[in-house]
Structure 1
Amino acid sequence: MVDPLRKSFLDVARLRELSRRTAPTEREVLRILEKARALNRLSVEETAALLCVDSPEMIRALLDAAGYAKETIYGRRMVLFAPLYIGNTCSNSCLYCAFRKENTRLRRAVLTADQIRTEAEMLLREGHKRIVMLCGESSDNDLDHFLSAIRTVYATRVGKNAIRRINVEIAPLDVAGFRRLKEAKIGTYICFQETYDPDLYAAYHPSGPKADYLNRLMVMDRAMEGGIDDVGLGVLFGLGDYRFEVLALMEHALHLEETFGCGPHTVSVPRIEPAEGTPFTEHIPYAVSDDAFRKIIAVIRLAMPYTGIILSTRESEGLRNELFRYGVSQISAGSRTNPGAYADAASECSGSQFSLGDHRSLDEVIGTLIDQEFIPSFCTGCYRKGRVGRDFMDLAKPGLIQRFCMPNGLFTFQEYLEDFASPAVRTKGKKLIGRLVEAAHEEQRPKIVDNLRLIESGERDVYF
């Protein structure tokens, strides 16, 4: 049960001290990387050492180790999704967010059921099967409205296609609220702490429900008590010292594993981006350079090897293409961050939460993934087969999850090529599938080939 005294599980003073340690020696780094390449969890102290690496040679070794760990566990698959904003009204005053209540320049909107259905249809016509649904925190976007939106999206069909998994990012709930989310058949519940530093948190959240640091810190405990199997952590890099934030993320993950037997399913790594009517974003207090960002992603991959790392379209096209190799396992594509924008990309009916760095379409992103020989995956097989939470981790840790990730990724990729891909992407995508099938495990290959043929003949939603 969640501690009724609402005590923090973080030792903030210790994490601050660890984040200020000196750079490790080359010998120390190589020892830690050897342990990481064996896919053993790193200690907080070892993670702190890697975060302080400053030698170009050791940073290169760190990035290579992260790429190795990701491919060893998940193979070449890259999961794709899109965000669906159903409202941007908010009662909070978060200084860094365009949705903050004081922002009078932002055009506000809360989507109706018909508008939500239209947004879902547009995403389906692009080829999406997985979304994350989110909104601001206000009475207009309460839990009842959110649950109704989930039902609307799950009921939406375009031909043979439907949204198969809705992950959600909604303001902290009580345990009873999370039980209702569980009944709605959500996927992962995502909630960013934004910053784990309690002093900075108070400064950046002067008013509104979100100003309660401990309520937000303990939300994942309540979610897991309410039956949510998969949870997703995250911080907004730029609000505090990135070394401290990564160490706090790791402590949070350890707390969940010790308390519930399973850590987070995903970790998100957004950086602050410019936002309309939000002067704070013009002077980022702890700006994270591209070099530091590469290191952050690699260290998280090595420190929490079995946790998915989510990279959003906040980042530029070039940097995203590079970061795919260093441990990222899930990416958004073709994103819009203002309500109603999929139906009308030029619409001015509502304002965006932040600026995007990667404006490519889903098809363009998939084309790049093919060029890098990744498997663009819309797979939801584990979710529907019950391979979630602790069961997922039990398969991931011995390296068995690839038996499902690779073929299921291929099946959803084949669906995309048949139904949505441009001619050029379809041609090179089918060539990649052919090469991957030839390289597949001999025992699995016949079944993979049979299912790919089923999809070519019109069958959909095939998975192991």
Structure 2
Amino acid sequence: MSREINYFQEDFGEDYRTEVCDYITDNKIEMILDSAKKPAKKEIERIIAKALKLNGITPQEAAALLQVEDEEMINKFLAAAKEIKEKIYGKRLVIFAPLYFANQCVNDCLYCGFRKGNKELARKKLSQAEIINEVEALEREGHKRLLVLTGEAPNTDLDYVVESIKTAYSVQTENGGEIRRINAEIAPLSTEDFKKLKEAEIGTYTCFQETYNRKAYAELHPSGPKSNFEWRLSVMDRAQEAGIDDLGIGALFGLYDYKFDAIGLLLHAEYLDQKYGVGPHTISVPRLNPASGSPLTEVPYPLSDADFRKLVAVLRLAVPYTGMILSTRESTKMRNELFAHGVSQISAGSRTTPGGYEKKAKNKEELAQFSLHDLRPIDEIISGIAKDGYIPSFCTACYRLGRTGKDFMDLAKPGKIQEFCRPNAMLTFKEYLEDYGTESSIDHGTQCINNLMDKLEKDNSQLAANIADKLEAIADGEHDLYL
């Protein structure tokens, strides 16, 4: 093992778990896909009917759906995914923003703008004062939830990340501006270091496997700590052992065949659920976008829009309880389509550059990790969401009330979490409109809230009265009300 790989763990500091590595193998994934080729129409209909009961479907059943080419049948499970998503979460869309602390990195991932070998990249590590500036800018746009990220390098170690998270939480601006929950997407840690991260009061810890194919992974990650496939794959075990029970997984689609990586994701979700009783709180579905300074000038395994829609729908059918995350890598049109087929969380007004939010900052794309397609300001995104009948949510109540891990799963799996999601979305959206809304977002947002109130009064008049009182209190200047 080279010295370069030992920046954070001397010989990785502990024996990493091998159980998950035996559970998710290339041969197993290939056998699942091979066994599900050319599924009969009756079999597809059976799988869809099973999924509509909100109990999920197996990786084998998902493999059958992924290989369907008949448009009529595809449309059936696209419609089923919409129904399942609305049964679990309603028409709410959680809003968050990524915040990059640094773009320095010792890894040489061939698809990433942050890679060590990219000599064109202007390297940047934010000081605590600069982090304050970034968070102030985000709060003044209305953000309450952040996902913090950084490259993997000695001078952006865990101590720096923890200090930076504490700094971000401390920032307060006018109109009740504050960050109420920070999720983290940083390099895999040892169990002991995860305990330190937990003490920083993060919400969800996220780590993408990127691709579950070992050969492709090795070719794409030639050097650095990230080159160890098993250490990365076993990261969620260490997080669980440290007491972090809200976890997010994902793959970067386009690095390898999307069907293969989808089954890898589902085996990963199945493993976590079976071992810990807690499946992934979130699953992210980014598609590979070009990065400046990357040797990958073309996507190795392009994923068409049609197949991407199919992928999102199948994941929703298979893991109905998970929050499915879509970033601004996608176009406005594609994002709007996928809201209906399973996506329940989105980034808005994103920058993938350290220092990219601060109002005085100029165009800093030379610092970016990858290119973005949905570049609309957050208020324009929110106005469009509300106009289409979706409710933007800035809610952080579950994290703060301990509805995480098994407690969250007990509510999400049977669809009971919507009893909290819909009212809290209304309350946090009302707060956004009062403090940061423009004429357009206030117009569409008020109509959206009124429509939801009409439905809530029919479904639960007592709850509707409670929410009406809280909405009035927010209009009078109160903040941070939730169930």
TM-score (structure 1 length as normaliser) = 0.98
The one of 29, 41, 53 aligned to 1:15: 29
Instruction: Measure how far apart 1:424 and its partner are.
Output: 1.8
Equivalent residue number for residue 121 of structure 2 = 106
Alignment check: 8 A CA contact 1:2 1:221 kept = no
Partner of 1:293: 308
Q: Please say which of residues 206-215 and 9-18 is displaced more in the overlay.
A: 9-18
The answer as to 2:367 corresponding to 1:351 is yes
Structure 1, unmatched stretches of 5+, are none
Residue 142 (structure 2) pairs with residue 123 (structure 1): no
**Secondary structure of the equivalent of 1:81?**
strand
- Asked if the contact 2:18/2:234 (under 8 Å) is kept, the reply is no
Aligned-residue offset at 1:410: 0.3
Counterpart in the other structure of 1:166: 182
The aligned residue for residue 318 of structure 2 is: 303
Q: 1:427 to 1:311 in 2, by over 3 A?
A: same
Query: Aligned AA for 1:300?
Result: L
Corresponding residue for 1:191? Answer: 207
Cα separation, partners in 2 of 1:213 and 1:390, compared to 1, 3 Å:
same
- One-letter amino acid of the structure 1 residue matched with residue 466 of structure 2: K
Aligned-partner SS, 1:84: strand
Q: CA deviation at 1:4?
A: 5.1
> Which of 421, 424, 427 pairs up with 1:405?
421
The alignment's C-alpha RMSD in Å is 1.4
Q: Deviations over 1:106-142 (max 9, x none)?
A: 1110000000010000000000000100010001211
1:451 to 462, 465, 470: 470
* Aligned counterpart, 2:250: 234
Matches of 1:52 and 1:18, distance apart in 2: 12
List structure 1 segments (4+ residues) > 4 angstroms apart after TM superposition. Answer: 1-7
1:208 corresponds in structure 2 to 224
After TM superposition, list the pairs within 5 Å mapping 1:295-444 onto structure 2: 295-343=310-358, 344-348=360-364, 351-440=367-456, 441-444=460-463
Alignment of 1:218-297 (within 5 A): 218-280=234-296, 282-297=297-312
Equivalent position of 2:7 in the other structure: none
> Residue deviations 1:167-210, cap 9 Å, x none?
00000000011101111100000000001111111110000000
Q: Which amino acid aligns with 1:446?
A: A
Tell me the secondary structure at the aligned position of residue 418 of structure 1. helix
Q: CA shift at 1:427, angstroms?
A: 1.8
- Partner SS for 2:437: coil
Gapped runs of 5+ residues in structure 2? 1-13
Deviation of residue 434 (structure 1)? 1.2
SS in 2 for 1:109: coil
Q: Which of 168, 171, 180 lines up with 1:153 in the alignment?
A: 168
Cα–Cα, structure 1 residues 178 and 72, in superposed 2: closer, same or farther, change >3 Å?
same
Looking at structure 2, the residues matched to 104 and 362 of structure 1 have their Cα atoms a distance apart, in angstroms, of 32
1:330 positional shift: 0.2
For 1:26, the aligned partner's letter is K
Deviation at 1:383, TM superposition (A): 0.8
DSSP-derived class of the 2:310 partner: helix
- TM-superposed CA distance for 1:285, in Å, is 1.3
Aligned with 1:167: secondary structure? strand
SS in 2 for 1:86: strand
Query: Match for residue 462 of structure 1?
Result: 481
Task: Pick which of 8-17 and 145-154 moved more.
Answer: 8-17
Mean Cα displacement is larger for which, 15-24 or 423-432? Answer: 15-24
Decide which moves more: 299-308 or 433-442: 433-442
Check 1:4–1:336 CA distance in 2 against 1; reply closer, same or farther (3 A cut): closer
Question: Using the alignment, how far apart are the partners of 1:284 and 1:260 within structure 2?
Answer: 35
Aligned length: 463
Q: Distance in 2 between matches of 1:347 and 1:297?
A: 32
User: Which SS does the other structure have where 1:326 is aligned?
Assistant: coil
Q: Distance in 1 between matches of 2:372 and 2:177?
A: 27
Q: Partner of 1:91 in structure 2?
A: 106
From 45, 54, 65, give the equivalent of 1:50.
65
SS at match of 1:310: strand
Inter-CA distance 30–5: structure 2 relative to 1 (3 Å threshold): closer
Counterpart amino acid of residue 25 in structure 2: D
Contact 1:48/1:243 (8 A) holds in 2: yes
Task: Give the aligned residue type for 1:453.
Answer: E
Kindly indicate whether residue 87 of structure 2 is the aligned counterpart of residue 72 of structure 1: yes
CA contact (8 A) 2:54 2:414 kept: no
Q: Normalization by structure 2: what TM-score?
A: 0.94
Distance 2:172 2:183 in 1: 18
Q: CA deviation at 1:3?
A: 6.3
Q: Secondary structure at the match of 1:315?
A: coil
Residue 177 of structure 1 pairs with residue 193 of structure 2: yes
SS class of match (1:203): helix
Contact 2:16 2:231 in 1 (8 A): no
Supply the distance in 1 between the matched residues of 2:240 and 2:323 (Cα, whole angstroms).
18
**Secondary structure of the residue that 1:83 maps to in structure 2?**
strand
CA distance in 2, matches of 1:427, 1:389: 37
* Residues 10 and 430 of structure 1, relative CA distance in 2, 3 Å threshold: same
Q: What displacement does 1:265 show?
A: 0.3
